[in-house]
Amino acid sequence: MRELNGKVAVVTGSSRGIGRAIAVKLASLGAKIVVNYRSNKEAAEETLHLIREAGGEAIALQADVSIFADCQRLIRGALDHFGRLDILVNNAGTTRDGLLVRMSEEDWDIVIDTNLKGTWSCSKAAQRTMMKQRYGRIVNITSVAGLAGNAGQTNYASAKAGVIGFTKSLAKEVGSRNITVNAIAPGYIPTDLSAQLTSELVDKGMSMTPLGHPGTTEDIANAVAFLISDEAKYITGQVLSVDGGLVMQ
């Protein structure tokens, strides 16, 4: 029996990378999936294909998580199609790296709005439904940069640190309604987003990672699956680092 049968999950930014792996993993456990994308409809369709090919059920909905009205529409679309919402994975994110001295206001705003405000917006849009049904699982994807900082990423690290504070605060607000809120902090995971990092930064990260190799998108998906499972029902407000030990350095 698949553990998530009957459950519905919204995974933001799930047209590719970590989000796609999470969507496919949750579908393999029986969840019905709302694949969210901002602009790449073709990539979202590929995620749908992977889910359906494995016998899962999914739809794709466009929404820019930096816009609160879009997040409301995304959650409403999930409810209209599937009739319920049990799981929200706030994965959508972006980077605009650069030293602070050269960082534009636009580069600051777009990273904060997507990574931090997007987490707030989708969680707020989903909260009333989860509270009413007295059940919910929210997992926010943060980063080791939010725990340790990273030169050239003041915007990204600030947003991801904010996600951690948001996670802990919301967990305290909704715990009495049987809603858990946790975060996962990935280390270096090769994706389209991390491909923007210089080889020097990647090499430095690997030299500081005790396990000595990058993680995979499936590593993050497996961690999400654990945090929304019954085995983790007494875990909330926590940050799980999936980073090969990088954050210890």
**Catalytic residue annotation:** 156
3-state secondary structure at position 8: strand
Nearest CA-CA partner of 141 in 157, 174, 164, 124: 164
Nearest CA-CA partner of 33 in 71, 76, 89: 89
Please, are residues 2 and 26 in contact by the beta-carbon 8 Å criterion?
no
Nearest CA-CA partner of 47 in 140, 56, 142, 170: 56
3-state secondary structure at position 248: helix
Express the helix, strand and coil content of the chain in percent, nearest 5 each. Answer: 50, 15, 35
Q: How long is the chain?
A: 249
- The gap between the terminal CA atoms of the chain, to the nearest Å, is 41
In whole angstroms, what is the distance from residue 83 CA to residue 78 CA?
Answer: 7
